[in-house]
Amino acid sequence: MKTLSIFAGLVLLSTGAFAADQSEVKPSSKLAALLDAKDESGKPIITPEQRSYFEGLNDNLKEMLNHAADKETISRAEHLSILLGLQLSPQKMELLLQNNCILCHSDSANHTPDTLFSTTVEPGSHMNLNDVVEDVHFRRGISCAGCHGGDPTADLGHDMVKEWPEKDRDKNRAWVVAFCARCHADPAKMHDFNPALPTDQLAKFKTSPHGHRLLDLHDDRAPSCVSCHGVHGIRPAKDPKSKVYAQRVPDTCGACHANAAIMAGITRADGSPMPTTQLAEYRTSVHGRALLERGDLGAPRCNTCHGNHAASPPGVAQVSKSCSICHSANSGLFDGSKHKQAFDQHNWPECGKCHSDHNIAKTGDTMLSTAAGGLCGDCHRQYAADHPECIQTADYFHQTIAQMDEARSRFSAESEKLASRGLDVEPISNQLTELTDTLKKSRTYVHSFSRSTFQQAAAPGLAAITKTEELTKVAHEEFEYRRWGLRASIVVIGILMLAIYLKLRQLEKRS
Partner 1 sequence: MRGWIDRRYQLTPLFEFLRHKEVPIGSHWMGWYYLGGVTMFFFVVQVITGVLLLMYYQPGEATSYESIRFLTTKVPFGWLIRSIHSWSAHLMIISLTLHMFSTMMLKAYRPPREITWVSGYLLFLLTLGFGFSGYLLPWNKLAYFATTVGTNIVHSVPLLGDWLLQVLRGGHDVTINTLYRFFAGHVVILPLAFVGLIGLHLLLIQRQGMAPPVGTTTAPRGMKFFPSFALRDLLLWFACLMLLATLAVFLPYGPGIPGMDWELGQKADPFAPAYPGIKPEWYFLWEYQLLKEFPPHLFGLEGPQVCLFVIAILLGIWAIIPWMDRRAYRNMHSPAFSDFGWGAILFLTYLTLMGWDIGAKSGSDDPASLQNIAHTCALWTLAAGVVVVVVRAWRFEHRWFILTGAVLLHIVLHGLVGMSYLVAALIAVVAAAIVIIATYLLGRGNWSAAA
Q: Please, what is the end-to-end C-alpha distance for the chain in angstroms?
A: 114
**Residue 508 touching partner 1 (CB under 8 A):** yes
**Residue 426 touching partner 1 (CB under 8 A):** yes
Contact between residue 241 and residue 235 where contact means Cβ atoms under 8 Å apart: yes
Q: 17 vs 500, which CB is nearer to partner 1?
A: 500
**Residue 504 touching partner 1 (CB under 8 A):** yes
User: Which stretch in 15-23, 79-87, 214-222, 485-493 sits in contact with partner 1 by CB under 8 A?
Assistant: 485-493
Q: How far is CA 116 from CA 86, 108, 165, in A?
A: 16, 6, 24
Q: 434 vs 478, which CB is nearer to partner 1?
A: 478
> In angstroms, rounded to a whole number, what is the distance separating the alpha carbons of residues 148 and 150?
7
**Residue 483 touching partner 1 (CB under 8 A):** yes
Task: Give the shortest CB-496-to-partner 1 separation in angstroms.
Answer: 6
How many of the other CB atoms lie within 10 Å of CB of 9?
A: 10
Question: Which residue from 59, 192, 424, 480 is in contact with partner 1, where contact means CB under 8 A?
Answer: 424
Nearest alpha-carbon partner for 84 in 139, 27, 137: 27
**Residue 71 touching partner 1 (CB under 8 A):** no
Q: In a 10 Å sphere around its CB, with 0-12 CB exposed, 13-18 middle and 19+ buried, how is residue 217 labelled?
A: exposed
**Residue 422 touching partner 1 (CB under 8 A):** yes
CA torsion angle for 314, 317, 322, 324 (degrees, to 10)? 170
**Residue 493 touching partner 1 (CB under 8 A):** yes
**Residue 477 touching partner 1 (CB under 8 A):** no
Question: Which residue from 23, 341, 420, 452 is in contact with partner 1, where contact means CB under 8 A?
Answer: 420
What is the distance, to the nearest Å, from the Cα of residue 480 to the centroid of all Cα atoms in its chain? 53
DSSP string, 455-493: HHHHHHHHHHHHHHHHHHHHHHHHHHHHHHHHHHHHHHH
Nearest alpha-carbon partner for 301 in 314, 309, 319, 289: 289
**Residue 480 touching partner 1 (CB under 8 A):** no
Contact between residue 73 and residue 110 where contact means Cβ atoms under 8 Å apart: no
Task: Give the shortest CB-475-to-partner 1 separation in angstroms.
Answer: 11
User: Which stretch in 90-98, 229-237, 367-375, 497-505 sits in contact with partner 1 by CB under 8 A?
Assistant: 497-505
User: Which stretch in 219-227, 251-259, 422-430, 440-448 sits in contact with partner 1 by CB under 8 A?
Assistant: 422-430
DSSP 109: T
How many of the other CB atoms lie within 10 Å of CB of 345?
A: 9
> In angstroms, rounded to a whole number, what is the distance separating the alpha carbons of residues 228 and 117?
22
> In angstroms, rounded to a whole number, what is the distance separating the alpha carbons of residues 97 and 65?
7
Task: Give the shortest CB-491-to-partner 1 separation in angstroms.
Answer: 10
Question: Which residue from 421, 441, 451, 467 is in contact with partner 1, where contact means CB under 8 A?
Answer: 421
DSSP 239: S
> In angstroms, rounded to a whole number, what is the distance separating the alpha carbons of residues 472 and 424?
10
Task: Give the shortest CB-466-to-partner 1 separation in angstroms.
Answer: 23
Task: Give the shortest CB-499-to-partner 1 separation in angstroms.
Answer: 10
Q: 421 vs 451, which CB is nearer to partner 1?
A: 421
Q: 194 vs 506, which CB is nearer to partner 1?
A: 506
User: Which stretch in 134-142, 183-191, 341-349, 415-423 sits in contact with partner 1 by CB under 8 A?
Assistant: 415-423
User: Which stretch in 153-161, 222-230, 456-464, 499-507 sits in contact with partner 1 by CB under 8 A?
Assistant: 499-507
Considering only residues 14-33, where is the footprint of partner 1 by CB under 8 A?
none
Q: Which residues bind partner 1 (CB under 8 A)?
A: 420-422, 424, 426, 482-483, 485-486, 489-490, 493-494, 496-497, 500-501, 503-504, 507-508, 511
